[in-house]
Amino acid sequence: MGGKPSQDDYHLKDTRTPVALGIKFEFDDVDYVMMERMLTIKTEAPGSVINSALRMLFPSCEASSVHSSRENTVSWRFNGRVASKTHLSSEASTDRSEPRSVLPLHSFIEHCRSVPEAGNADAILRKAGLDPLQTAINFERDVASLAGGLIAPRLGAFDEIRLRPRGTGQSVIQSFDGSRVADVLHTLKNGSREQREKYAKIQQVFGDIFPDLRLEITGQTQSPQIVVEQVATRLEVGLDRTGAGIGQVVTLLANMVNARGMIFAVDTPESNLHPHGLRTLLSFFDEVASSNQLILATHSPLVIPPDRLESVAAVRLYRGKSLIYQLSPEALTPAEKEKLRYLLGPETREFLFSRKVVFV
């Protein structure tokens, strides 16, 4: 939940009201492998022991940021421990900046090797004769940047105003703002077998959304061009001469197709799209959400899924603060959900965007 200054705050020139944001992550097997590669670990312990030690120290991650006119602060928490420069210290410690003892990461791993039956980091430290509350683990590199380096590549944000897909002649595989989507498609079309299969899937989904059109990338590496062909006439036009909705869909597909383990945030996916095209795009989003987390910000009742109302969060501005309202999964019985699915047509779903609803 975030907050913002009220109108009175602006009149009083009081901009000290902070805005707080928070997000929680669960690491997977790939993350721990990448973490091990990013660290310089001086130990002869086998990879399985190193992996187990990292899982104990980083079972989950919570990133919190507070923004105000005077300062911006970001804190990282890992299941009871906090990042403090190169140290990972207990959150319950009375003095995080100066722990009583500091244990190098490689020493912690060696203790894990000698005490395989220990189930968590605190048990490892106690077996080593150390107080978990007063002991910091030294990674010899910034812990926050380590976590951020793992998380940042997993985040993809598509702003409401997305640029026309273009290229710069560079080999890239992601472009969330659209500025290098032509480069992405050119890289995929001429890349590995897996990349070529992804390019073919992008063309397929594009054809599902726009049945009368075909997507293609032409030109050399230095100046790739996205063209759209009309299936009936075989007339080719550059993407710059097509509707804005087509360009936005190309940007979404180039980044989302075959993605796994990502968090995608899309602002107003309905922009510049025909209702039929939007419905097909939403079906594609369902496929994406099966292996990724997808967050949609919308002003359209067509985007609201009538059969999954518990996944919808309504954001309201109340007395200078953003409040979030959401149904709990147990709020409706299966029979009630099934009934609502038939009753909530696009027009009826508009009540979800209303300030107040009057039942008669």
Taking only Cα atoms into account, the Rg of the chain, rounded to an integer number of angstroms, comes to: 25
List the single range of 57-71, 105-119, 215-229 with lowest mean pLDDT: 57-71
Question: pLDDT, tens digit, for every residue of 7-42?
Answer: 444 344 444 556 667 778 888 888 899 999 998 888
Which of these three, 282, 303, 324, is where a domain ends?
Answer: 303
Whether residues 128 and 184 fall in one domain: no
1 part of a folded domain? no
Which of these three, 151, 170, 196, is where a domain ends?
Answer: 151
pLDDT on residue 45:
87
349 part of a folded domain? yes
Which of these three, 255, 278, 303, is where a domain ends?
Answer: 303
pLDDT on residue 249:
94
Which residues have C-beta within 8 Å of that of residue 342, sequence separation ≥ 6?
none
C-alpha span between 91 and 19 (Å, rounded): 23
pLDDT on residue 2:
38
Whether residues 274 and 242 fall in one domain: yes
Q: Which two tokens stand for residue 321?
A: 């603060």
Whether residues 95 and 138 fall in one domain: yes
- The alpha helices in 158-214, defined as continuous H runs, are 181-189, 193-209
Q: Which two tokens stand for residue 3?
A: 């907050």
Averaged pLDDT for residues 276-288: 93
pLDDT at 5 over 60: no
pLDDT at 295 over 80: yes
In angstroms, the first-to-last Cα distance of the chain is 33
Whether residues 193 and 145 fall in one domain: no
111 part of a folded domain? yes
pLDDT on residue 7:
46
Q: What total number of domains does the chain contain? A: 3
Whether residues 283 and 147 fall in one domain: no
Averaged pLDDT for residues 222-229: 90
Residue type, 39: L
Task: For residue 99, give its domain range.
Answer: 7-151
Position with higher pLDDT, 331 vs 43: 43
Averaged pLDDT for residues 101-110: 91
Q: What is the CATH number of the domain that holds 165?
A: 3.40.50.300
Residue 105: other Cβ atoms inside 10 A: 23
Query: Of 312, 311, 309, which is closest to residue 338 (Cα–Cα)?
Result: 309
Averaged pLDDT for residues 258-262: 91
